[in-house]
Structures are given as structure tokens and as C-alpha cells.
């Protein structure tokens, strides 16, 4: 029996590449001299697409693949997949909702501490010889002691961050589309109300039109001069121009970001700001976690072709 044909849109770690190539007829766009030729050559045979959540599966690509059955995403987010077209064509879409939760939550807590306590700036201060030349660095204006963490988007990652934050002694509040049953954290019925009630606002929302620029100048004003913004959700949820203006004007005290509106390009106004901690989208960026994400994608592909039922279909699939 012929192996199912899979079109791979993004690189994978070697261990996952080896398994994919053994199980499927794989066609890789990364590194291809002529990606369009790769697609054209395999289009009639392609039954699946695999990718980390940096690939793009739009209607145009799906229409070029008449026998496409499944798009398997090696990550939690899947806003780069045209879900309307997928449903119209009865194409299954899967993701890996649990593989990266703990790792991202760990980095979120690290970013919170780095941002509030100005640890990146402190590291730079020491390395530049300023401690010896100028004496002790100025005290950080913020502290986690007695602070409230507001979580915008209390999903898997939001819950995992909340558990870690409780161990730090932080009080927890949240906003989402609805109040969650069995959750004791303080609920606020709007992003504005949450921003006004917390000291640190953590963005843990998915991407897409519903959350685009949810964090704008108005929300930043509510967060206030002693407030901090941390984003480990999606870069598109934050209006970066408004954030730069708020950081420059002292509208908020600081920001910690792992995601950006136009990756890998970062708003130039952010780069020179000492009150911004900037990470290059690495919250899930460890070999064990990226391997687990790739394995979850592989598990979905194998289950689909063996049983017709994937392990983790996205919620829109019913």
C-alpha cells in the first residue's frame, strides 16, 4: 500500500523528520530551491499538511490540493489555517494543545519576574561595567510582593501560569469570554476592568480577528503608571505603536514580550527601551518541548490515516 503523501510547510527537529519520512511520503517546502515546483509536483497526491504554527494554509493552497484530508499543526495556535475553507472542503484540522503548556507557563513566569524586577537591564548594567564605575543600579520600582496578576485568556496556559503565580504569592484575576465554573479567581467582565484591577496584565489569548489589538492605548491607560504588560499569547493582540507610546510616556511602567505583530520584525521603537524585556518568541523553544509538539502532530496524522479519527481535532471540528 502506498504511503500517504504529506506536504510539510515548516522545518521539524531531526527526530520528527526521521519518523515522518519513515511513515509517509513527505515533501518539504523548507530548504526547497523551488517551493512552487514542489507543490505542483505533489499536488494531486497530497492528503495531509503538517507544520508548526508558523506556516500558512489559506484557501488558495487548499484549492491546489484536491485530495487534502487533514492539516496537522504542531502547536496550540491555528489561526494561520483558513477554517472556513477547511470546513467547506471537509478538511480536518488538528493541533497540539497540551504539548507546550508547561514550557510556555514557565517562560511566562520568568518574563513576569524579569520585567517587574528589571533583570535584563540589571544584567546589561553589570556587563557594561557600570556597577563598578557608577555603584549600585537604581532600585526597581516594581515588586511582585502583594501584586495582582490579571490573566487575559484563562485557557490551558493561563491556568498553568496562575498555578505558578500562586506559588509566588500573587493574587490572581482574569477575564475571558465567560466566567469559568469552579474557578475561585476574581473575574472581571471586560479587559478594561481587568487592566484597572491588576498590577501585571498577562496576555494569554489566541490570535485572530477577535483579539486583534485588544490591548490598545485605552487598556494601557487603565493599567496605569505602576502597571506592567506581559504578552506570551499572540503579538497581534497588542497594538505595538500604542505600547511604544505608553512605555515612552510612562503611561505604564514596563512590558515583557515574547511575541510580536510582524515576526521576526520587531517594532523599532521597542528595541531601545530599557523598560521593555524582549524575547525572540522562544517560550516553547526547548528541544524536549518542540519534539513533543512535533510528536503530537505526527500522532494526529497517524491516527487519521489509521482510524479516520485524529487525537486532538480543533474545537471548530466539533
Active site residues: 234, 263, 281
Region label for 100, one of left (φ > 0), alpha (ψ between -120 and 50) or beta (otherwise): alpha
Report yes or no: 72 and 313 within 8 Å, Cβ to Cβ.
Answer: no
**Cα dihedral value 179, 99, 289, 7, nearest 10:** -120
Handedness of CA 107, 108, 109, 114 (dihedral sign): positive
Residues 6+ apart with CB under 8 A from 98: 156, 296, 312
How far, in Å, CA of 202 to CA of 81, rounded? 25
Peptide bond into 299 cis (omega under 30): no
In this structure, how many other beta carbons lie within 10 angstroms of the beta carbon of residue 312? 19
Q: At 70, is the secondary structure helix, strand, or coil?
A: strand
How far, in Å, CA of 284 to CA of 156, rounded? 14
Burial 42-68 (b: 16+ CB within 10 A, else e): bbebbbbbbbbbbbebeeebbeebeeb
End-to-end CA distance of the chain: 31
Looking only at the bridges linking them, the beta strands covering 171-175 and 200-203 are unpaired
Q: In what order do the strands lie in the sheet with 70-73?
A: 25-28, 5-8, 46-51, 70-73, 92-94
**Nearest of 123, 136, 103, 143 to residue 254 by alpha carbon:** 143
Amino acid at each position: 500500500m502506498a504511503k500517504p503523501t504529506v506536504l510539510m510547510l515548516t522545518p521539524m527537529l531531526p527526530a520528527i523528520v526521521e519518523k515522518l519520512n519513515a511513515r509517509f511520503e513527505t515533501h518539504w517546502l523548507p530548504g526547497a530551491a523551488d517551493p512552487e515546483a514542489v507543490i505542483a509536483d505533489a499536488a494531486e497526491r497530497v492528503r495531509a499538511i503538517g507544520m508548526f504554527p508558523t506556516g500558512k494554509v489559506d484557501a488558495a493552497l487548499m484549492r491546489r490540493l484536491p485530495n487534502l484530508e487533514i492539516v496537522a499543526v504542531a502547536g496550540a495556535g491555528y489561526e494561520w489555517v483558513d477554517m472556513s475553507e477547511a470546513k467547506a472542503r471537509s478538511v480536518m484540522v488538528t493541533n497540539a494543545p497540551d504539548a507546550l503548556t508547561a514550557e510556555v507557563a514557565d517562560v511566562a513566569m520568568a518574563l513576569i519576574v524579569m520585567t517587574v524586577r528589571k533583570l535584563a537591564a540589571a544584567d546589561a548594567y553589570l556587563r557594561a561595567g557600570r556597577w563598578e564605575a557608577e555603584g549600585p543600579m537604581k532600585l526597581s520600582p516594581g515588586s511582585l510582593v502583594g501584586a495582582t496578576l490579571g490573566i487575559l485568556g484563562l485557557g490551558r496556559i493561563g491556568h498553568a501560569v496562575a498555578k505558578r503565580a500562586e506559588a509566588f504569592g500573587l493574587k490572581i484575576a482574569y477575564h475571558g469570554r465567560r466566567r469559568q465554573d469552579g474557578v475561585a479567581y476574581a473575574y472581571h467582565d471586560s479587559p478594561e476592568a481587568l487592566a484597572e484591577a491588576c498590577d501585571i496584565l498577562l496576555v494569554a489569548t489566541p490570535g485572530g480577528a477577535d483579539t486583534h489589538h485588544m490591548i490598545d492605548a485605552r487598556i494601557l491607560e487603565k493599567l496605569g503608571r505602576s502597571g506592567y504588560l506581559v504578552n506570551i499569547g499572540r503579538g497581534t493582540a497588542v497594538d505595538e505603536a500604542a505600547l511604544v507610546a505608553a512605555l515612552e510616556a510612562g503611561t505604564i511602567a514596563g512590558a515583557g514580550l515574547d511575541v510580536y505583530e510582524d515576526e521576526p520584525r520587531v517594532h523599532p521603537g521597542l528595541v531601545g527601551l530599557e523598560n521593555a524585556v524582549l524575547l525572540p518568541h522562544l517560550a516553547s523553544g526547548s528541544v524536549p518541548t518542540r519534539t513533543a509538539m512535533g510528536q503530537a502532530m505526527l500522532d494526529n496524522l497517524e491516527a487519521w490515516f489509521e482510524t479516520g479519527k485524529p487525537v486532538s481535532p480543533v474545537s471548530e471540528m466539533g
